Structure 1
Amino acid sequence: MNGVHAENLGARKAKATRWGTAFLVATAISVLFLVILVLSIVSQSFGYVLVISEVDTASLARNGVALESQEAPALIETLKEGLTRRHLATLEEAKPLESRNREELLSLVMMEIVQERPARTWTLVQSVFQRKAIFDFRDSDFPDGRLYFRSWLRASLLANPQSSSALDSGLRGAAIGSLATILLTLLIAFPLGVAAAIWLEEYAADNAVNRFIQLNIYNLSGVPSIIYGMLGLAVFVRYLEPLTSGVLFGAAEKGAASGRTILSASLTLALLVLPVIIINSQEALRAIPQSLRKAGLALGATKWQTIWHHVLPASADRILTGTVLAISRALGETAPLVVVGASTFLTIDPVSPFSRFTTLPIQIYQWTSRPQGEFKNLAAAAILVLLVLLLTLNATAIILRNRFSARRRTNT
């Protein structure tokens, strides 16, 4: 009997070793591909850029002062002399020239009059290992071109609005749209999700109706996001258009009266993350021992007082962690926002829940779909920005969890 037992034990150990090895190999391959992906994105975010111009900057000198050294008034005069009235009116509508700083005006001159455009871009790897070939290409094909090393991940990427020129385009509108959408989504989904979890876990009776509701919450958490986009299009964009466009409040903005606004997007994303928040909150409440509830009731507290003062504080770390992870998912969503009507090219910043909008994933999608190679570099830099934002949210979830856990241990 001992021999049979030893033989079976040896076979089980051998099988466990094989599965453990397979797990380690699969994990190593996954990490390798992830590292390659991140390195390729980083490589595309830096590198040499060859820029050519339609107008020589030397011809725009004023009183012996080179274009790059001119002050704001001189740059404004250059713009007024070089652009048509209609073009100037368009620029003034976006932002008056007199209210722009010198760097903004110089960027406008370079884009609108000098018309600098990238002739070719190289990745960081190519810039390091093919430097001589890059300079030879410039000397032979574009001897008048300006070749310089550029970091596409720069402060102007977040400070500038979207533009048709890759050299001046930025993420400002998309960043504002993403933050506004996520903040409004959180304000809608978090209280509703936690309240629903409290009712289902603490008050709802165990009957067929409530079991059916619980089953559907689990099912809704696995529905593809594009289905939520179609629901948002039908309900929030079309049926509730007077509400989501701001017409009902007299706050509708020009071009946003169709209901394709930040409010519609936030309501759609709130529906998307609501089942996840409910399930995570239920699990957090379920993890609190019943003895805590019974102790509160035994001391004369009402059921709600026990939940508010004892159960919720004890489960706050798990609830907040699940909420932050759900919001991280919403931040990276693209499909429902495309269906709801996010703009792919938007030069005006959103200023209210009734504004037209775009988001970081939509902006990245728009840049990657353009044929010019320089927009691929911009998209890579934007991916790094989105990645840092997602990592920050996940780090916040870990910090909040640890802080609440430490506070709970201290109180006990």
Structure 2
Amino acid sequence: MSIATRGRVRPARKPRSGSGRSLALLGPAFVAAIAYVDPGNVAANLTAGAKYGYLLIWVLVLANAMAVLVQFLSAKLGLVTGRSLPEMLGDRLRPGNRRVFWLQAETMAIATDVAEVIGGAIALNLLFGIPLFVGGLITGIISMAILSIQNRRGQRTFEFVVIGMLAIITVGFLTGLAFTDVSGTDALGGMVPRFDGSETVLLAASMLGATVMPHAIYLHSALARDRHGYAEPGPKLDRLLRATRWDVVGALVVAGGVNIGMLLLAASALRGTPGTDTIEGAHAAIEGSLGPVVAIVFAVGLLASGLASTSIGCAAGSEIMHGLLHKRIPLLVRRIVTLIPALIVLGVGVDPTLALVLSQVVLSLCIPFAIIPLVRMTSDANLMGAQVNSTTITAAAWITSGLIVTLNVALLWLTFTGSA
């Protein structure tokens, strides 16, 4: 039975009010939003705050605004066409081009899984002293159990589980703010766009890759379609799109707040403390300055982040393979295959935080391959009909794409030339 069939909301016994019906339509964006608070975000945001204070707040604010636009366009494409973004690409690309496109998308999926599994492994190590390799294996196994909820109980139940984990992540990463003093003046100063050498460009690209997540762009179109099904143009589709807009805004306000909160925590409580450019070091510094309870809560949030986000990443990879290669393999097989690179990284002793940051750079480089086709498709009147992007939305979407590409070019130039 398909996810679309299994995930639909059952008709209520009593008529719902207008607000009740709207609330019942929320959920897919909150699942996609897990990708925006994964362990890669933790590494990038803590590193940026610990090393450069409030300097790069503007990157998170800008990236989150971009994410709201992009995720809504992805969901709109799925609702209007009844097809996911990978399926649309698979239908339009020639066989050779499809395979090449899939290779870069698969590289992105692997980079995603590396970040998420490593994050879960670090959390288990911090909480229970479990070796990183074993922790990565446990993270992969638990993520498979989470995915089985979707297969057995349907998308709606899966959404409730993921939203619960998002709540744990939010509490875990923001609790420390209640015990530290954030400089409002410095935080406002961080809203001014600027860099301070090539390393800040690398971090900005990492933060962007961790915020505007390409696999969430691919997946959201499928989540919205599978949850609501295809709707003919008319009042029902209009209502679904309005609810989806609120779904996206609400989910990404939460995710954006968590990301900004992490940077503020690092900038206010961890800056200047040795070793705080790693997750383990940041955890130790949090324990030293804010107490063991806050440190435990932070580690629990990190564990929830790793477990939930690796499940979403695996689902996204499955949808990408299905859409581009017209093949769907069992999630267990895919879980095992994509887990291997992360376990290799943990097994050979690569610095976990560095691996997390670099994985986000890979994601940043893959973003244009997801955004550019999305903008083109949602701006195509023949495809989207009355729901085609307005001139303003189209312009904003192309500006977003241009900013991302420009930042990536600057990243490559400054990194390989060593320019400051």
Q: TM-score by structure 1 length?
A: 0.24
Higher helix share: 2
Look at both structures and tell me which one has the larger radius of gyration over its CA atoms. 1
Q: TM-score by structure 2 length?
A: 0.24
Higher RCO (CA-CA < 8 Å; seq separation 6+): 2
Higher strand share: 1
